[in-house]
Amino acid sequence: MLGEVKVDKISFGIDLVTTETTKRIDEVIRRYYGVVVKPKNHDRFHKLKRDVTPTKQLREGYDGFNHNLQMIPLHQFLKFLQEVRSVAGQNLNLYLMHLPMDITVEGDVADYLEVLLNHEYLNGYVATTNATDSYKTVYVAKKKRNPKSKRNQKLKIKFYDKAGELIDRDKANRVLPLKELVNAPELPMDYSTGGDRYGLLLYKMNLLRCEIELREDYLPFHTIDDMIEAIQNGTFQDTIEKTFNDILSKTVFAQPKKQTSCKTLKQLAVDSAIKSKRNYKLLCYIHDMGRAYNYFKKAKEAYARDNDLEFEELRGKFTH
């Protein structure tokens, strides 16, 4: 459950479909998920597009809060995919996939989010936050060339307090019922109810979620048939784990190819610059010192990396 990659959302569809087939697919979705989620422009020009959340696929014998902390067992997910495929009578394309991982951290989640927000990333990635979020979320993505563009980015990564988000939805989630029993004695559990409906004591957990939103060529699978085949041959979990790890290693946790060494004087200079509120990037470019700033950026990254225990803890837990 924790430290494992899950599939939290997929968007799939068909370019040309009849009204009758659309109705039959919706019946399957409603039976497995209880509701049909239709994205914008979902059924235009005889096209079909639907969203489902595999972590929330209905379980037999469970009628508690339908949280997304546990992935549906793959053999149950396979049944849904096969039935949709059978009703459609043709392969279905995948347009979007969300891959989350939840971990516990040593300190307050808010401190780690602050570290992620202030980190200086490589390869054109920047961190932002949304002031309208009821709980703080840090987004990491490529900086848009056109800030006004409403086009969805192919790759977006977000970090947030998962325990806080679940408790905000419903205070009863302070003790979250588990859909399936997990063998994790290190987690705070409420065993008083007995049976297989143990409760996870969320209020005692520092739970941080990293969720990757993928589109187009970043997708690990491109069709429903691809997913069915991967589950059947036992490669599904390995594939999403590798995708998750590879993306984070090249984006959030990317490291410079050449490690810039920091001797005593350089450490003092960089340390002073980090603590300063001056915008060194702007100052360097105003005075036509772009190359100097590039060196400063690498030195700052190397020094910060060696001294940022929270960031290194996240690197170790999110990438294997």
| Cβ count near 44 (within 10 Å) | 9
| Average pLDDT score over the chain | 85
pLDDT band at 286 (very low <50, low <70, confident <90, very high): low
Q: Write the pLDDT tens digit of every residue in 57-114.
A: 999 888 888 999 999 999 999 999 999 999 999 999 999 999 999 999 999 999 999 9
Contacts of 159 (CB under 8 A, 6+ apart): 112, 113, 116, 137, 138, 140, 208, 209, 210, 211
Return the minimum-mean-pLDDT range out of 39-53, 155-169, 277-291: 277-291
CA distance 31 to 16: 23
CA distance 5 to 3: 7
Q: Which two structure tokens, joined as six digits, stand for 255?
A: 């490291």
Residue 277's pLDDT is 56
Domain spans, the chain: 9-254, 258-320
CA distance 297 to 294: 5
Residue whose C-alpha is closest to residue 123's, from 312, 308, 297, 302: 297
Residue 145's pLDDT is 65
Q: Write the pLDDT tens digit of every residue in 198-220.
A: 789 999 999 999 999 999 999 99
Mean pLDDT along residues 39-52: 78
